[in-house]
Structure 1
Amino acid sequence: MADIHQVSGSQLRRNKANLLLQFAALALAGFQHEHGSTSSNNRTQQEFSLKELIGNGMLWAVPKHRRSVEKRLNRKFGYPEYVWKPLKVKQNIRSCQTCGHDHEMGVLCPFCYNKVLKETEDMQAKIQEKLGLDPIDKEVIVLYEGEKAEQTAENLEGKRIVEMKKPRPMWFTKNLLQKSTQQLSESKEVKPSDLA
């Protein structure tokens, strides 16, 4: 009986050595492989037990249960209510009436906005250059090329004048309180609204 136990123990040691040689990663897990033949000295020093091998078992990183089709599809495509991963067609794209570039509905056209932003930055730089660090105690008027002659002396009295050395852009109206797209009509005709 003792011989069978020792034979099975030596077979288990050989299997353990083969396992360690096949999978080098297991050697990093804390097992120690002794090279050389097994002698009677090693057997007497340490008896091998099956409980020792099973007691320190390993857990491999594998799933225990398969994911359902629904869960796999939700991971792949997302949830329509929360996050939907596939691309969707945007239905709210419109063309700008002024420049013709495309933009989303409810958002200013980025091209026109950049034009206005650049003009505003030029005006601010000119005002900063003209006024410097002086306190702003008077109203500041920005006049473009050729507009100073149109202004009366009463309108310019007591105000600081900043002149831009370029003509006024077409989209930048003189009267900012009036809509630039609306033109006054001279006709008194009223057209019916409900025509088929």
Structure 2
Amino acid sequence: MISRFGYIINLLKALERNVLHSFGHPPRELAIVQIYERQSSNPPKKFSIKDIIGDGMLLAVPKFRRTIEKRWKRKFGSPEYVWKMLVPKTNIKVCQDCGHHHERGRLCGNCYNRVESETKEIQAKIQEKLGLNPIEKDVIVLYEGENVPEMPNEFWEGKRIIEMKKERPQWFSKNLLQKSTQQPSSSKDVKPTDLA
């Protein structure tokens, strides 16, 4: 509103200058003026989209990095606006095997690290004995003081035995190395029975 009002005032002042105070100025009659421009010998350069884009175009990319204060405000909030409280976890439990704390529904980190280190030792021993060739047959791991289990000869066909030169850890049971798949059943009974 103010800019329009100022524009009208400036327009009236210009009109007053040209109409009322025209003494000593060029005549008020219209004159035809021709401006001669010499055309250059070079043909006009064709317009290219590459002049605008240059090497590339960035769409919706931030120009500046967010400061650490803004990042923390987005993550934790701020007391003046929205305060995102740090809520204490109530789903922590104690591991029955090692006594370390971990979240319910997740593996214990300490137990997982023990299993991971033992697995890496077994893998290193297998790689040392069998090389980097693909292992297509089963590998049986025997710790110090363990004997080869008595099985029929068909069981041992193509199997490889790896001996670890240390005692088996207490938590590392033999069941962990056995396959958990069951043989298909030939019985025709429907399970479970006697429900009614």
TM-score by length of 1: 0.45
Could you say which structure has the higher helix fraction?
A: 1
TM-score by length of 2: 0.45
